[in-house]
Amino acid sequence: MMKTRHARFRIGQVVRHRLFPFRGVVFDIDPEFNNTEEWWRSIPESVRPSRDQPFYHLLAENAETEYIAYVSEQNLVADDSGEPLRHPELPERFDQDDEGGYRARDRHLH
Looking at residue 3, the DSSP 8-state letter turns out to be P
Higher pLDDT, 108 or 31: 31
Length of the chain counted residue by residue: 110
d(CA 86, CA 67): 11
Q: Give ∠ CA 59-22-55 in degrees, rounded to 5.
A: 55
Which residue, among 64, 52, 55, 85, has the nearest Cα to 20 in the 3D structure?
A: 64
Residue 43's identity, in one-letter code, is I
3-state secondary structure of 14: strand
pLDDT one-digit tens code per residue, 16-72: 999 999 999 999 999 999 999 999 999 889 889 999 999 999 999 999 999 999 999
Looking at residue 92, the DSSP 8-state letter turns out to be H
pTM score, two decimals? 0.89
3-state secondary structure of 16: strand
